[in-house]
Structure formats: C-alpha cells, structure tokens
Structure 1
C-alpha cells in the first residue's frame, strides 16, 4: 500500500530525514515513534506531499504519491488540526464529501459526528471550536471518504478520554476492514496495544522496525520490558 525508498529531506546542509526506506502492507497498523526532532512529522509530510522531498521515491497503491490516483487513496490528520473559520462542522463534512464524491455522505457524516459527540456542535463555526473539537472534526473529515490508507500525526493530542477510547476502537475496526494506518505519537501506551509493527526514528534514521515481540526478543534482556522501556533504551544519547 505504501512504499518509501531512499527518502531524504534536507534543510540547508542538515538532513531532517536521512535516506530511509520502509513499506506498509494492507491491513496493517504501524506505530511511528521517536523523540522530538527525530523526523516523524517530516517523514509523514513528505509522504502526503506537504513537504517536497530532497531525494527518494514514494508510491501509494502503486502510484506516485503526488498523483491524483494516490491522493484518492489516503487521508491525513495533522498534529495541529486546521479547520475553516467560516464553515460549520457539518459544512466541513459536506466539503470533504463533495471533494471525494462520497455517496450517502449525510448518513455517514451523522454517524461519525455522533461517535465523536459533534452532533450538537454541527452548526458551530470552525473559529468557535476548541482544539479538541477541531481535532475531532479533522478525524471525522479524514474518515468520511473511507480511505485505504490513513496517516495520523499525534491523533490523541487534545482528545478527551472517551474520544481516545473510540479512536483506538476505530483503529482496530479499520484494520479488520483491511485498511492501512501509520500513526505517529509520543503517547507510547496508546499505540502499544493496537500496532502490528513499531518503527522507531532517531536523528532522521529508522533505528527499529519490527513487531513488538521481535523488538523485545532482539533488543531486550527481559521479557517484561515494555514498549516504553525499549523506546527509551533505543533513543538514549550515547
């Protein structure tokens, strides 16, 4: 579903992403972890086309990542949710539905708004929404077109406990339906229970990319090590 080969993103003489390669298969949830400045968001923004890569190739569903056929396959939820100030919550859903030619969009939009408790907020303007509400609108808009591939950059930030629980449940349901998810987060415990595979980045490099069980077997002396323990061990300064 996603193939990244030799991705480099350079700012001046400094590499933010340093010649990384990885792939995501259909029906797979992959957690992308790393300390601040590791290159997680930069990698994701290069994949979705918000940043121009310096080198490398990125293909989504066999298509170049900047092509229209590729863009029809994925949704992206940024770390900082952006909404239109003068569109209501419902108008955001209508805008996405028309852009992606979503059939029966009103029913689907109502279902997502109900899950994220936005039904009574559907006539509020974007400028009047709290950060948490904006995040919920962003997630609903991303889910509405029923994409094959979803990119979540810190999806749990700003969400209340019920919304976090619902989002985890939705991840599992999407996976069961064959969808592919790449989720970048600092909240390690939120991804430990849902990810099939963990990728850990540090200084623009991928320093771990395997199932949690395999990472524990190869990198930890104890079977009781948590993902947090492994993460801290791998990303500690030399």
Structure 2
C-alpha cells in the first residue's frame, strides 16, 4: 500500500530524514516512534505531499504519492488540527464528502459525530471549537471517505480519555477491514497495544523496524521488558 524508498529531506546542509526506506502492507497498524525532532512529522509530511522531499521515491497503492490517484487513497490527520473558522462541524463533513465524492454521507457522518461526542456541536463554527474538538473534527473528516491508508500524526494529543479509547477501537476496526494505518507519536503507551509493527526513528534514521516481540529479542533480550524500554535503549545517547 505504501512504499518509501531512499527518502531524504534536507534543510540546508542538515538531513532531517536520512535516506530511509520502508513499506506498509494492507491490514496493519504501524507505530512510528521517536523523540522530539527525530523526523517523524517530516517523514509523514513528505509522504502526504505537505513537504517537498529532497530525493527518494514514494508510492501509494502503486501511484506516485503526489498524484490524484494516490490522494484518493489516503487521509492525513495532522498533529495540529486545522479547521475552517466559518464552517460548522456539519459543513466540514459536507465539504469532505463533496471533495471525495462520498455518497449518502450523512448517516456515516452522524455516526462519527456520535462516536466523538460532537452531535450537539454539529452547528458550531470551527473558530468556536476547543483544540480537542478540532482534533475530533479532523479525525471525523479523515474517516468519512473510508480511505485505504490513514496517517495519524500524534492523534491522541488533546483528546479526552473516552475519545482515545474510541480512536483505539476504530484503529482495530480499520485493521480488521484491511486498512493500513501509520501512527506517529512519542506517547509510547498509545500504540503499544494496537500496533502490529514498530518503527523507531532517531536523527532521521530508522533504528528498528519490526514487531514488538522481535524488537525485544534483538535489543533487550527480555520478554518482560516493555516497548518503552526498547525505545529508551535504541534512542539513548551513546
């Protein structure tokens, strides 16, 4: 579903992303972990086209990542949610439905608003929403077109405990439906129970890319160690 080959993103003489390669298959949830400044958001923004890559190749569903065909296949939820000040919550869903050609969107839209406790906020303008509510609207808009591939950049920040629980449940349902999810975060416990595979990034380099159990065998040699222990071991300053 996603293939990233020799991706480089350079700012001046400094590589923010240093020649990384990986792929994501259908029906898996992959956690992209790393400390602040590791290159997680930069990697994700290069994939979705919000940043211009310096070099490398990226394909989504076999299409170049900047093509219209690729853009039809994915949704992106940024770390900082962006909503339109003068559109209501309901109008955001309508806008996305029209942009993606989603038929009979009102029923699905209503279900999403109910899941995220936004039903009574449906007619509220974007400018009047809290950061947490904006994040919920962003997630609802991303889920509405039923994409094959979803990119979540720090999705749990700003969400209340109920919304976090529902988001994890949605991840599970999407995986069971064969969807592919890449979750970028530094909140390790938010992905430990839902990710099939973990990629650990530091200084623009991938230090580990495997299942949690395999990473334990490779780096800590103790089944009782947590993902946090693996993360700290791989990202420690030598």
TM-score between the two structures when normalised by the length of structure 2: 1.00
SS in 2 for 1:150: strand
CA shift digits 1:150-170 (9 cap, x unpaired): 000000000000000000000
Tell me, yes or no, if the aligned pair for 2:47 and 2:65 is still in contact at 8 Å: yes
* Deviation of the 1:82 alpha carbon: 0.3
RMSD over equivalenced CA pairs, Å: 0.4
SS in 1 for 2:56: strand
Distance 1:148 1:55 in 2: 25
* Deviation of the 1:145 alpha carbon: 0.1
Matches of residues 66-85 of structure 1 in structure 2 within 5 Å? 66-85=66-85
SS in 1 for 2:150: strand
CA shift digits 1:127-160 (9 cap, x unpaired): 0000000000000000000000000000000000
The answer to whether structure 1 residue 205 and structure 2 residue 205 are counterparts is: yes
Distance 1:221 1:7 in 2: 31
Distance 2:227 2:234 in 1: 10
- Which residue is 1:224 aligned to? 224
The answer to whether structure 1 residue 191 and structure 2 residue 191 are counterparts is: yes
The answer to whether structure 1 residue 32 and structure 2 residue 32 are counterparts is: yes
Distance 2:41 2:7 in 1: 13
Gap runs ≥5 in structure 2: none
Gap runs ≥5 in structure 1: none
* Deviation of the 1:190 alpha carbon: 1.0
- Which residue is 1:114 aligned to? 114
Distance 1:99 1:234 in 2: 42
Tell me, yes or no, if the aligned pair for 2:213 and 2:223 is still in contact at 8 Å: no
Number of aligned residues: 238
SS in 1 for 2:18: strand
- Which residue is 2:215 aligned to? 215
- Which residue is 2:161 aligned to? 161
The answer to whether structure 1 residue 3 and structure 2 residue 3 are counterparts is: yes
- Which residue is 1:44 aligned to? 44
Distance 1:201 1:215 in 2: 14
SS in 2 for 1:232: helix
Distance 1:81 1:60 in 2: 23
